[in-house]
Structure 1
Amino acid sequence: MKVHILDDWFDTLRGLPCFNLLNEHDVTVWTDHEADENALAARLADADCVVLFRERTLVTHSLLERLPNLRLISQRGAWPHVDVGACTDRGVLLCSNKGADGANYAAAELTFALILSAMRQLPQQMASIKTGGWQMGVGRTLRGRRLGLYGYGRIGRAVADYARAFGMEVIWWSSDAGRARAIADGKQLAESRTAFFAESDVVSLHMRLTPETSGIVTAQDLALMRPRSLLVNTSRAGLIEPGALLSSLDAGRPGMAAVDVFDSEPLMDPTDPLLAHPNLIATPHIGFVTEDEFDKQFADIFEQVTAYANGHPIHMVNPLVFGQ
């Protein structure tokens, strides 16, 4: 099959062990992001299969109409960026291992790195010494402080392990089903949603972005946070009500934010009001960007390609398409 891989910005995948899974296919790797749909359609004109790199590219009805040869889209995780109905209408099978086993430890590690960076003022302290200064302020110790984790999933549980190793108290909030699982596992829940935001020194978000979770953290939630508290988001920007994080930082509740995700990505405007905010530290969506995590995730994706080529597709999202 002619397989096109999109948005591998650093040309990483060719050097990973999992890339050998595509040895029997004609593979084209695109190392830039093409935002123009007409240009993207021209690139993919001969593609039998498109491999998506997370949510970096939208797959729309109009794009699919321009790809007459396309039969398979292979990716991993949730698919809010893919028009599944249009895929079905066009006879394109979407395969995605949404329920992959194991936590994304890379994302969990980055989450805790951001907590440490914010609480110890690491970006500011580093900038100070590199520009001829010395200490620029006084950080805060994590031991004895309360970490609130919103979303009872694998990544959140890994972050909780790190936090307990640092002597933090961990409390949880989640959906009704998530809270039930946490209780069954003997975890400590906040007394209420209000208490969760109001009484945590650090709040970290760990949920998938779905129609049900879009905007689930509101401006009212953030206004409950303490003036010296920290909000961390390494999940998806859309979990927070549009505009709420910027307005809340302007109001001083929470006092700081550390984020790896933005509403529009890639965000490359240094004057963006949120990115430029003095009380925000940021990374460019690198929670999953390690060689180890890439090899694990793309092994799943490439196995879906080979399974389809062998006539036995796996992880089908719209299985009625297969066999048309």
Structure 2
Amino acid sequence: MKVHILDDWFDTLRGLPCFDLLADHKVTVWTDHEPDPAALATRLADAEAVVLFRERTKVTRDLLARLPKLRLISQRGVWPHVDVEACTEAGVLLCSNKGADGANYAAAELTFALILAAMRQLPEQMASAKAGQWQVGVGRTLRGRRLGLYGYGRIGRVVADYARAFGMEVVWWASDAGRDRARAAGETVAPSRAAFFADSDIVSLHLRLTPETRGIVTAEDLAAMGPRSVLVNTSRAGLIAPGALLAGLDAGRPGMAAVDVFDSEPLTDPADPLLAHPKLIATPHIGFVTEDEFDKQFADIFAQVNAYAEGAPIHMVNPSVYGR
């Protein structure tokens, strides 16, 4: 098959063991991002299969209409960036291993790195030292502080383990089913949503972005947080109601935020009000950006390509397409 891989910005995949899975295919790797649908369609004119790099490129009805040879889109995780209805109408099968085994340890590690960065003022202290000004302020110790984890899933549970190793208290909030699972596992669940946000020194979000969770963290939730609290988001920006984080930081609740995700990505405007906010620590969506995590995730994605080529597709999102 003619397979095109999009948005491999640092040309990483060709050097990983998983790339051998595509040995029987004609593979084209694109190492930049093309936002224009017409220009992207020109690139993909001969593509029979497209491999998506997480959510870096949106698959729209307009794009699909320009790709008559396309038969398969292979990716991993959820698909808010893919118009599944348009895929089905165009006869394009979407395969995505949403329920892949194992936690994303890379994302959990970055979450805790951001917690440490915020509490110990690492960006400010590093900049001050580089400028020859030595110390710039006084940080706070994690031990004895409360970490609130929103979303009782695999990544959140790994972050909880890290927090306990630092001597932190861990409390949870989640859906009704998630809170039930947490209680069954012997975890501490906050007595109420309001108490969860109000009483946590740090709140970290670990939810999948779905229609049900979009905007689930409201302006009222953030307003309940303390003036010295920290909000951490390495999941998806859309979990927070539009504009609520910027407004909250302007109001001083939360007192600080450390995020890896933004509403519009890649975000390259240094004057963006949220990115430039003095109370925001930012990383450019690198939670999953490690060689180890790439190899694990793309082994799944490339296996889906091979399964389709062999006539036995797996992890089909719109199975009615197959066999037309």
Deviations 1:39-82 (A, max 9, x none): 00111010000000000001011110110000000000000100
User: What residue is the counterpart of 2:97 in the other structure?
Assistant: 97
Deviations 1:196-233 (A, max 9, x none): 00000000000000000000000100000000000000
User: What residue is the counterpart of 1:185 in the other structure?
Assistant: 185
User: What residue is the counterpart of 1:147 in the other structure?
Assistant: 147
CA RMSD, aligned part only? 0.4
User: What residue is the counterpart of 1:62 in the other structure?
Assistant: 62
3-state SS of paired residue (2:95) = strand
User: What residue is the counterpart of 1:48 in the other structure?
Assistant: 48
Deviations 1:171-201 (A, max 9, x none): 0000011111111111100010000000000
Measured after TM superposition, the shift of residue 294 of structure 1 is 0.1
Q: Which runs of 5+ in 1 are unaligned?
A: none
TM-score (norm 1): 1.00
Matches within 5 A, 1:94-243: 94-243=94-243
How far apart, CA to CA, are the structure 2 residues paired with 1:51 and 1:152? 29
User: What residue is the counterpart of 1:39 in the other structure?
Assistant: 39
3-state SS of paired residue (1:203) = strand
3-state SS of paired residue (1:28) = strand
How far apart, CA to CA, are the structure 2 residues paired with 1:130 and 1:35? 37
How far apart, CA to CA, are the structure 1 residues paired with 2:145 and 2:10? 38
Matches within 5 A, 1:214-293: 214-293=214-293
Q: Which amino acid aligns with 1:112?
A: F
TM-score (norm 2): 1.00
How far apart, CA to CA, are the structure 2 residues paired with 1:22 and 1:32? 20
- Number of residue equivalences: 324
Q: Which amino acid aligns with 2:208?
A: R
User: What residue is the counterpart of 1:80 in the other structure?
Assistant: 80
Verify: 1:321 aligned to 2:314, yes or no. Answer: no
Measured after TM superposition, the shift of residue 132 of structure 1 is 1.3
Q: Which runs of 5+ in 2 are unaligned?
A: none
How far apart, CA to CA, are the structure 2 residues paired with 1:19 and 1:199? 47
How far apart, CA to CA, are the structure 2 residues paired with 1:83 and 1:288? 23
Q: Which amino acid aligns with 2:18?
A: C
3-state SS of paired residue (1:160) = helix
Deviations 1:243-263 (A, max 9, x none): 000010000011000000000
How far apart, CA to CA, are the structure 2 residues paired with 1:225 and 1:138? 21
How far apart, CA to CA, are the structure 2 residues paired with 1:36 and 1:68? 18
How far apart, CA to CA, are the structure 1 residues paired with 2:89 and 2:251? 47
How far apart, CA to CA, are the structure 2 residues paired with 1:110 and 1:246? 22
